[in-house]
A and B are shown apart, each in its own frame.
Chain A
Amino acid sequence: MMDIKSEWMSLCAMTGPSGGEEAVSRRVAELFSAYSGDVWTDGMMNTYARIGGKGPRVVVAAHIDEIGLMVNFIDEDGYIGFCQVGGVDPRILPAQEVIVHGAEDLYGIVAVKPPHVLTPEEREHALAMEDLRIDLGLPAETVREKVRIGDYITFDAPPVSLMDSLVASKSTDDRMGIAVMLEAMERLKGRPLSAEVIMAGTVQEEVGCRGAMVAAQALQPELAVVLDVTHATTPDAPPFATVDLDKPCVAIVPVMHQGWTRVLRETARELGIEISVEVGGRTSGTDADEIQIAGSGIPCVALQVPVRYMHTTVEVISYDVIAQCGQILAAFLEKVTSCGEVLL
């Protein structure tokens, strides 16, 4: 049996900023191949694995891209200016260790003034992204030779195991979804599954759910399950905006189909797994926002895993909850056909 947790942690160590997911996509295809004989990748680098039978088509989507940076200019001294890829908070950047993916991978740091030389005003405010530079420690001409405008920059932050089953990684959001899929496929192995299930590792979610849009248009499923992260409680966050770190979560927002969301919650209850509910009044900030309105419309549900410190290099998640979500997903997919008469 695959050691899914350690495979997933290796996957989190890989770099795959939005639009540059090629390597991660290839690795996801290899992992999927352990459970499916029908694995493919499309032109945008979305990766798919088909399992199950000839019943209703269900797409399970989790995005494999991560937030990052991109070179947008090189100054006279060889310091690199950059812009964001996805939502990067400039407050987390100073002194961050990064890799500039130039002609070769180059290690760098986000340059920062020591506190001793800051003016009182500077101490009061976080720096804006356009004022930050990356220092590669190389002569300017070497930088210009090896780095081009448009090269990706990613965070040099390998995943770390914390106490209990907690893991901190730069790409927990949303590669944890791939672990959920693998956990579900492990449980479904050798069992009859009548729904035609397509697991999809989607690209470019962080810049507008672009991979999922194309996946949904191409596959036109009858139902979609979106796996994404949500905000876990932290010391400084208001309780009404967060959920418990140690429980799976189901999203109740207008984007999600009410009937199928009920089935998802019942599935968890039948398994004896306690879940939280996240409530919202608008869109979900997940791939479901685009999948729901693709083609003639696709009902969506969202199964979420709470994460602390989202969009940082230390997104903390509980692997136990990932495994529970795998269990819920497997049971839900088995249920799709029996509920079909009512809902499909």
Chain B
Amino acid sequence: MIRKVTAMNSRETLMKLCMAFGPTGAEDKVSQVIEEMVRPYVDEIRRDAMGNLIAVKRGQGKGKVMVAAHMDQIGLMVTSIDENGFLRVANVGGIAPRSVLYRQVTFENGTVGCVGLNAKAPSLDKVTLEHVFIDIGCESRAEALEKVQIGDTCIMQANFLDMGQRMSSPAMDNRSACAVLVEALKRLDTPAMDVYGVFTTQEEVGLRGAKTAAFAIQPDVGIAVDITGESSYPEAEATCSMKMGQGAAVKVRDASVFCTPAVVRWMEETAKEEGIPYQREVLTFGGTDTQAIQLTGAGIPAGCISIPGRYIHSMCETIDGRDYEAAIALLAALLKKEYQH
């Protein structure tokens, strides 16, 4: 197949997005990277007050579909700096303290540091963020303040591990879904509905960006794209039926939402028609932008395409390329069609 020489393939898109900076509340940088990627493929791009990036591709007047992929990632925010220049931090989004220990971190201005642990901290299972600090190589508060301010948020050092079929990155949640949306937007010719591709902010702290975006757009149907759990690694909970490599997951429910049954059927039928591998998803924890869309105004039919992943909210969130490609194919196929309930 001949492609524009400048066009990235889907894996390059994913890698580039995983390397971008964008913790909750500071999504500007990743938002700019995405804007550059999608600009040639859409009719209009705008940002709202929450920092959501909204890319619109006009359709054939069959209504509006909103697709939400959150671009924020979990991180650590500086709460105080001690006299020796060590930073104390609070979590931004759900971070398990033991998963950040002895990791490298990056701030938006390029400052880097290491996550250290108080010498007399309790055992690992009892460690909280109060026992943790960031060492940015300074000897005094004054020196540290030249690099970092109270309220700055850092991310775990950006990284992308290409293991062949599978890929790992601390930002896979949710840049893999952003990449799915970018790739699906690239494959749109003349969609039936107006497509509002929304790269949302602040999902990790309560689905906040998607809420205002859905309120403003008032779509006829909403689709969230996100990552979910899976259970094919050692001692994984048998109570989770999703398996890596078995296709895109069509969400039935998570802790935040019961997907609109008609949307679930629409997704399953489309996957079957197009021969796209998929699995049904029941996740007993976690929330997604699906809820924010569904509960907007008088209620909006909403569903979610998920990518099964391992070690979510750790520094090595891992997904399978086959599931990633299946999610792109499913989203692209849905966006070609009209939603009828």
- Cβ of A43 within 8 Å of any chain B Cβ, yes or no, is yes
- Cβ of B237 within 8 Å of any chain A Cβ, yes or no, is yes
Contact residues in B for A20 (Cβ distance below 8 Å):
258, 261
Interface size, chain A (Cβ < 8 Å):
27
> Within the complex, which residue of B260, B279, B282 is in contact with A83, where a contact is CB–CB below 8 Å?
B282
- Cβ of A231 within 8 Å of any chain B Cβ, yes or no, is no
- Least CB distance from A49 to B in Å reads 17
- Cβ of B207 within 8 Å of any chain A Cβ, yes or no, is no
A150 touches B298 (CB 8 A): no
Interface size, chain B (Cβ < 8 Å):
26
Distance, CA A214 to CA B281, complexed state (A): 25
Distance, CA A70 to CA B284, complexed state (A): 10
Interface mask (A66-90 → B, CB under 8 Å = 1, otherwise 0): 0000111111000001010000000
A148 touches B295 (CB 8 A): no
Considering only CB atoms, which chain B residue lies closest to A81 in the complex? B239
B253 touches A70 (CB 8 A): yes
A44 touches B282 (CB 8 A): no
Considering only CB atoms, which chain A residue lies closest to B221 in the complex? A43
Considering only CB atoms, which chain A residue lies closest to B252 in the complex? A150
Distance, CA A71 to CA B239, complexed state (A): 9
- Interface secondary structure of B, over-half rule: loop
A148 touches B297 (CB 8 A): no
B298 touches A149 (CB 8 A): no
- Cβ of B301 within 8 Å of any chain A Cβ, yes or no, is yes
Considering only CB atoms, which chain A residue lies closest to B259 in the complex? A19
- Cβ of A105 within 8 Å of any chain B Cβ, yes or no, is no
B241 touches A43 (CB 8 A): no
- Cβ of B163 within 8 Å of any chain A Cβ, yes or no, is no
B298 touches A43 (CB 8 A): yes
A71 touches B298 (CB 8 A): no
Distance, CA A44 to CA B297, complexed state (A): 12
Considering only CB atoms, which chain B residue lies closest to A82 in the complex? B239
Distance, CA A22 to CA B261, complexed state (A): 10
Distance, CA A66 to CA B64, complexed state (A): 33
Distance, CA A207 to CA B253, complexed state (A): 11
A218 touches B240 (CB 8 A): no
- Cβ of A204 within 8 Å of any chain B Cβ, yes or no, is yes
Given A19-B258, A72-B240, 8 other A-B residues pairs in contact with their CB atoms under 8 A: A18-B258, A19-B261, A43-B299, A44-B294, A44-B299, A73-B238, A149-B241, A210-B294
* 9 A–B pairs (Cβ distance < 8 Å), ordered by A: A42-B298, A43-B260, A70-B253, A72-B239, A73-B240, A74-B241, A148-B280, A149-B241, A204-B258
